[in-house]
Chain A
Amino acid sequence: MSTKKILLVDDDEDFISAIAAILTANGYKTKIAYSGIEGYIVGQGFSPDLIILDVNMETANAGFDLNKKFRTNELFKKIPIIMLTGIETLAASNQMIEMYSQMASIPGFENDIVMKVVNADGTVSVDYKTDSGQKYYLLLDSFISKPVETEHLLAEIKKFLKD
Chain B
Amino acid sequence: MIYHLDSENLSKKVFWLCILRWFAVVGIVLATIITKLFINLNINFFVLFLIAGLLFLSNIIYILFLRPFLSEGDEKSILTVRKNINFQIFFDFIFLTLLLHYSGGIENPFIIFYIFHMIISSILLSKKWTYIHSTLGILLFTSLAVSEYFGVIPHYSINKYISSLIENDPYYLFSSLIIFIFTAYLVVYITTFLAGRLRIVEQKLKAANSDLTEKDKIKNEYVIRVTHDIKGHIAAIKSNLEVVNKQLIAPVDIQNLKFIDKAYNRTQKLNEFIYDLLTLTNMRLNNKFDKEPIDILKVLTSVVKSNKPFAEAKHITFMKEFEITTPFFSGIESSIEEVISNLVQNAIKYTPDNGSVFLKASSDTHEFIVTVSDTGYGIPEADIPFIFDEFFRASNIKNAIKDGTGLGLSLVKAIVERHKGTIHAVSEVGVGSKFVVRFPHGID
List residues of chain A with CB under 8 Å of any chain B CB: 12, 14-15, 18-19, 21-22, 24-25, 86, 88, 90-93, 95-96, 113, 146-148, 150
Q: Is B232 an interface residue (CB 8 A)?
A: yes
Given A22-B243, A25-B248, answer yes or no on A146-B235 (Cβ-Cβ < 8 Å).
yes
The reply on B8 being an interface residue by CB < 8 A is no
- Determine the residue in chain A with the shortest Cβ distance to B335: A91
Q: Which residues of B contact A (CB under 8 A)?
A: 224, 228, 231-232, 234-236, 238-240, 242-243, 246, 248-249, 271, 278, 282, 286, 288, 290, 292, 332, 334
Is the CB–CB distance between A22 and B236 below 8 Å?
A: no
Give bound CA distance, A147 to B228, whole Å: 11
Residue in B224, B234, B239 whose beta carbon sits within 8 Å of that of A22 in the complex:
B239
Q: Is the CB of B290 within 8 A of A93?
A: yes
| B232 near A15: Cβ-Cβ < 8 Å | yes
A25 touches B239 (CB 8 A): no
C-alpha gap A117/B240 in the complex (Å): 31
Check if A88 sits within 8 Å of B224, measured CB to CB.
yes
Nearest A residue to B249, CB-CB: A21
Residues of A within 8 A of B248 (CB): 21-22, 24-25
Q: Are A86 and B232 in contact (CB under 8 A)?
A: yes
- With a CB–CB cut-off of 8 A, which chain A residues contact B332? 91
CA distance A49 to B338 in the complex (A): 36
Give bound CA distance, A112 to B174, whole Å: 72
A23 to B, closest residue via Cβ: B248
Task: For the complex, give the distance between the alpha carbons of A22 and B235 in Å.
Answer: 14
Query: Lowest 3 A-B CB distances belong to which pairs?
Result: A18-B239, A25-B248, A147-B235
Give the most central of A12, A15, A24, A92: most B CB within 10 Å.
A15
* In the complex, chain B residues whose CB is within 8 Å of the CB of A95: 290
Nearest-CB residue, chain B, relative to A19:
B239
Would you call A22 and B242 a contact (CB within 8 A)? yes
* B interface SS class: helix
- Complex CA–CA separation, A80 to B228 (angstroms): 27
- Residues from chain A with a CB closer than 8 A to the CB of B271 are 147
Contact yes or no, B232 A146, CB < 8 A: yes
Closest to B282 in A: A88
Contacts of B234 in A (CB 8 A): 147
Give 5 new A-B contacts, CB below 8 A, not counting A12-B235, A146-B232.
Answer: A12-B236, A22-B242, A90-B282, A113-B286, A147-B234
Q: Is the CB of B286 within 8 A of A90?
A: yes
In the complex, A147 Cα to B278 Cα: how many Å? 13
With A12-B232, A146-B231 in contact, is A90–B239 under 8 Å at CB? no
**B235 contacts A148, C-beta separation under 8 Å:** yes
Chain B residues in 8 Å Cβ range of A25: 243, 246, 248-249
- Nearest chain A CB to B337 CB, angstrom units: 13
Q: A21-B248, A25-B248, A86-B235 are in contact. Are A150 and B242 (CB under 8 A)?
A: yes
| Cα distance, A7 to B337, chains bound together (Å) | 35
Q: Which residues of B contact A15 (CB under 8 A)?
A: 232, 235-236, 239-240
Residues in A with CB closer than 8 Å to B249 are: 21, 25
29 A/B residue pairs, CB under 8 Å, sorted by A: A12-B232, A14-B240, A15-B232, A15-B236, A15-B239, A18-B242, A22-B248, A24-B248, A25-B243, A25-B249, A86-B228, A86-B231, A86-B235, A90-B282, A90-B286, A91-B332, A91-B334, A92-B288, A92-B290, A96-B288, A113-B286, A147-B231, A147-B235, A147-B239, A147-B271, A148-B235, A148-B239, A150-B239, A150-B242
